[in-house]
Structure 1
């Protein structure tokens, strides 16, 4: 069945950034990106769903192609996924106003107007991608992500693979990962994290009694998950506005270039610099990442 939505896009919306983020894997087994369109496969509530989006200057025409029966809960998750993959959760204007006169970020804001944080379709996708990608280079991380989808995901009737959910991931044996170039530590962390989510012991949904701070602490208590993974997951998964990516190598490289220094600032100094931009550190990270990339490839980290 199909579910249709039309989402208005704000003035100055940068379609190219959204398409570049979802075009990271050139093989495109779970995403297909056209000149003005995007198809994204994802498991939602145990159902394979392809989110098909066509962009116009003022709106995004969205069709959810559902391999199964819809429900109110599934429809809510589809709406949430659309907001995330379109980068509509964080309004960039408050940071732009905050940093307009700043000697460090002011020039970046002026040359990158309308820059947004594009997110993963689900929190689980964001956190597993952070686990997969930590401490390895981006091309290898993308290759491992592809393997992960083929191992734990499911194929939609339309042909795209759907990014997996926790129950399917938790069932994959560690040896299945390690025989496909995953380190044992990474494979164990993925299985440990997925098992906790699948069993309900780790609730990733925010609520009155489960806020971002509590979720962060529970994630940090999981062996193999550190501050960078948590902050990246909060950024790409929840659209949290004040994530500090001071441990990110690319963030430090961007600061080095911005400061005109010969060496990257260390992690502690990077943290102190970014603290000046609270409560907008997520958008500060977005501008730093984008400053390292060609304009059409912003938001690809």
Structure 2
């Protein structure tokens, strides 16, 4: 075992509770543990079980990377990268705040909830597989399937937390291991298909690639559609202009804000989101946040 400490500066107005809420969605705390002032998350990085931990003081996240193996410079760099993701530090919300300050629909929500951030999965692979798991099912069921997926393909850290798997770990699963545990056959096949492509090097999940290269590659994979791609772009790659017109919560938020007899259609939602380009990722964050507000 080896551990290293890392200090990450936090901006003024950092919304800690948003980060804790995102990582605390699985109440069984299999791979993430959240307390009042900190979090711990297990993830496989380069085949090594690592627990990333963060404690918070004003203006600083005091982090540790605890590895069940040698903490090489490459592994430490991966850990730092993953920490930036799970702390929501990839996309600076200031640009959207300036852009949408006077927007009649999202401007008032922005004023009430300044500084919203997009919290991400630790790795792009985690974001992509989580998007596949969550396709067309409700959140509690998706969280339960995710827990099963981690137990089947991941590994426990010596400290007790389970670590989210990487592609080679998933390729070792048999299809029946998933379908016998409430995964639909299509969902299970897509997870295994993606894992094999990544493990074989046929699909690159490197962050920073041009979006016009990433999108067609992902859409070409059987079982992956526009919603899954955009969710992965948002929660994994950290692109600032992801359009989630197929997301039910986004459509519900527009319906709540605009009124009408029913939620806007997917094409109508796409048109509504176009007004926020090139900041549609942050627009999604504020639309999601609006669902938690009480409207008098």
- TM-score relative to the length of structure 2: 0.97
Distance 1:293 1:139 in 2: 17
The answer (yes or no) to whether the contact 1:92–1:116 under 8 Å persists in 2 is yes
Distance 2:223 2:80 in 1: 31
Listed one character per residue, the Cα deviations across residues 242-293 of structure 1 (whole Å, up to 9, x for unaligned) are: 0000010000000001112221110101101101111000000000011112
- Aligned-pair distance for 1:206? 3.8
Listed one character per residue, the Cα deviations across residues 7-50 of structure 1 (whole Å, up to 9, x for unaligned) are: 11100000000000000100010000000010000000000000
The answer (yes or no) to whether the contact 2:55–2:63 under 8 Å persists in 1 is yes
Structure 2, unaligned stretches of length 5 or more? none
Residue matched to 1:238: 237
The answer (yes or no) to whether the contact 1:84–1:119 under 8 Å persists in 2 is yes
Q: Are 1:257 and 2:292 an aligned pair?
A: no
- Aligned-pair distance for 1:212? 2.3
Listed one character per residue, the Cα deviations across residues 213-265 of structure 1 (whole Å, up to 9, x for unaligned) are: 21211110000000000000000001110000001000000000111222111
The 5 Å alignment of 1:210-249 reads: 210-249=209-248
Which of the pair has the greater relative contact order for Cα pairs under 8 Å at 6+ separation? 1
Listed one character per residue, the Cα deviations across residues 150-182 of structure 1 (whole Å, up to 9, x for unaligned) are: 000000000000000000001100000000000
Q: Are 1:201 and 2:202 an aligned pair?
A: yes
Q: Are 1:192 and 2:193 an aligned pair?
A: yes
Distance 2:212 2:77 in 1: 24
The answer (yes or no) to whether the contact 2:50–2:65 under 8 Å persists in 1 is yes
Distance 1:219 1:184 in 2: 19
Distance 1:211 1:196 in 2: 19
Residue matched to 1:105: 106
Distance 2:172 2:29 in 1: 24
Structure 1, unaligned stretches of length 5 or more? 296-301
Residue matched to 1:142: 143
The 5 Å alignment of 1:105-124 reads: 105-124=106-125
Distance 1:201 1:71 in 2: 26
- TM-score relative to the length of structure 1: 0.96
Over the aligned positions, Cα root-mean-square deviation in angstroms equals 1.0
Query: What is the SS of the residue equivalent to 1:268?
Result: helix
Query: What is the SS of the residue equivalent to 1:131?
Result: helix
- Aligned-pair distance for 1:294? 5.9
Distance 2:56 2:78 in 1: 21
- Aligned-pair distance for 1:57? 1.8
Q: Are 1:172 and 2:173 an aligned pair?
A: yes
Residue matched to 2:278: 279
Distance 1:277 1:238, change over 3 A: same
Q: How many residues end up aligned between the 2 structures?
A: 293
Residue matched to 1:91: 92
Q: Which runs of 4+ in 1 moved over 3 A?
A: none
Larger mean Cα displacement after TM superposition, 224-233 or 68-77? 68-77
Q: Are 1:46 and 2:40 an aligned pair?
A: no
The answer (yes or no) to whether the contact 1:235–1:282 under 8 Å persists in 2 is yes
Listed one character per residue, the Cα deviations across residues 76-107 of structure 1 (whole Å, up to 9, x for unaligned) are: 21111010000001010110111011111111
The answer (yes or no) to whether the contact 1:274–1:281 under 8 Å persists in 2 is yes
